[in-house]
Amino acid sequence: MKIPDISKAIKQAVNNNFTHQLRLLKDLVKTDSTNPFTPDTSDPKAPIEKAVSDRLYLELKSLGFSPKRIGVTTARPNLTCTWGSPRYRKSLIFNGHMDTVPLPESSTAKTLLPVVKNNRLYGRGSLDMKASLSAYVFALKAIKDSRLPLSGKLILEFVVDEEPGACSQLGTRHLISQGITAKAAIIAEPGNKVGIGHRGGYRFKLTTLGESVHTGDTKWQKKEVGHNAVSDMAKVIAVLDQLDIPYKPSRLFPGKKPVFTFPTLIKGGTAINIVPEQCIAYGDVRLMPGNSDKQVRLLIEEKLAHVNNLRYSLENLLYAPAVELDDKEEIVNTVKNTFATIQGKTPLVQGIGPWNDAWMLWHLGGIPTITQVPLEGGNAHAANEWVSLKSLIDLTVVLAITAIRYLGANDDFS
Ligand SMILES: [Zn+2]
């Protein structure tokens, strides 16, 4: 089969199956997988994504595939599904998270109910990123329907615990630790470009330590005992206000630089008449390629060394290094050219702001990973989140054709 014939066959298969795909997507949206955790509280025993994982498992089974549950615990099962030649000439991963962010307090359970209106599907998680999960399943189904024997391996990965900050031990990182690897990967996070990198992030907790004493105490009046941790934090804030993080400008992130924000949250003191014993403040840092948590820690420590009589502790909460792919990578060209063929215009190829599990695949697994794909929708993380169904069909077609082009097929196809 030649490329135009393959495109035709895939488009036809995706369109034929789309009612079925939409049913799956509606079920995924209806099934709550709200992840309330932060990186430090994530619970391996809380079945956040279990029902979504089970629904996908059943779907893949009924379509004739052999999905596998691979979790740190049975409550948080990642799901994988492999298709293609075991000869393993080439391999490709489609990776996506099953959890969604918590619902806004003002919303009701209704936001989970999928509603189709004006060729859009509304509902929590529809865009981020349950539509893409449905696209993975039905891209694979279209490849199977086309009867093209792939001369490589396509691996679907549906992972847990991404939303708290893409730094979990339970999801993508666990699959890498189990030896699941490929020559390239795609994380079909929705956006308006082909993402070939993301900025990184570092979050920390800084605690100043004082000595508590009643403000009416004579020893406090004489400054013999007591030390105000909140006053110390004020000095720390003033000193860190000047913190500049050296960086190299990157072609992928035009106009961007590291951003140090401190504090973003703060808490100190226990009562109006007690000298505060401790003050806790949090900071958030956006990183460019080449920046690291160690570098930022060192800069903080250097600054704080100049504050007199300061006792403090600095704790890492999260670290995700930036990802920067070469735009000449084969997977980048394949995805870009396939979108251009299907949508009639070449997509923007650039780095993206928010980080995701791509840094694990790239830095821990050595797998060049696409960090975003064009998928039209709106209001991600809000109550009225939606995804365009036309755009979802395009994405499903693009993913199937990308897999065929990238992996090759045992035919006269080249
Ligand atoms: Zn996401």
Residue 108 has pLDDT above 90, yes or no: no
CATH 3.40.630.10 fits 3-199+322-407, yes or no: yes
CA of 279 to the centre of ligand 1 (A): 33
CA of 374 from ligand 1 middle (Å) equals 13
Distance (Å, whole) CA 83 – CA 135: 15
Q: Flag whether pLDDT at 2 surpasses 80.
A: no
**Is the peptide bond prior to 86 cis by the omega test (within 30 degrees of 0)?**
no
Q: What is the pLDDT of residues 340-373, one digit of tens each?
A: 999 999 999 999 999 999 999 999 999 999 999 9
**DSSP state at residue 211:** B
pLDDT of residue 66: 97
From the CA of 66, how far away is ligand 1's center (Å)? 25
pLDDT, position 412: 45
Mean pLDDT of 126-146: 97
Mean pLDDT computed over 208-222: 97
CA 331 – ligand 1 centroid, Å? 21
Question: Which pLDDT belongs to residue 196?
Answer: 97
Supply the pLDDT for residue 240.
97
Query: Is this structure's pTM higher than 0.85?
Result: yes
Distance 16 CA to ligand 1 centre (A): 28
Q: What is the chain's percent helix, strand, coil content, to nearest 5?
A: 35, 25, 40
Instruction: Label the pairing between strands 184-187 and 91-97.
Output: parallel
Domain 200-320 coded CATH 3.30.70.270: no
- CA 409 – ligand 1 centroid, Å: 31
Q: What percent of the chain has pLDDT over 70?
A: 96
Mean pLDDT of 149-166: 95
Q: Which two tokens stand for residue 87?
A: 């000869």
Provide the pLDDT for residue 86.
73
pLDDT at residue 102, as a whole number: 85
Task: Give the pLDDT score at 107.
Answer: 63
Q: What is the mean pLDDT of residues 103-112?
A: 65
CA of 166 to the centre of ligand 1 (A): 9
Q: How far is the CA of 139 from the centre of ligand 1 (A)?
A: 19
What is the distance in A from the centroid of ligand 1 to the CA of 186? 13
pLDDT over 70 (residue 226): yes
Average pLDDT over residues 377-395: 93
351 alpha carbon – ligand 1 mean position (Å): 15
Q: Left (φ > 0), alpha (ψ -120 to 50) or beta: where does 155 sit?
A: beta
pLDDT(179) > 70 = yes
- In the chain, where the domains are located: 3-199+322-407, 200-320
What's the whole-number mean pLDDT along residues 197-214? Answer: 97
Rounded to the nearest angstrom, the distance between the alpha carbon of 33 and the centre of ligand 1 is 13
pLDDT at 413 > cutoff 50: no
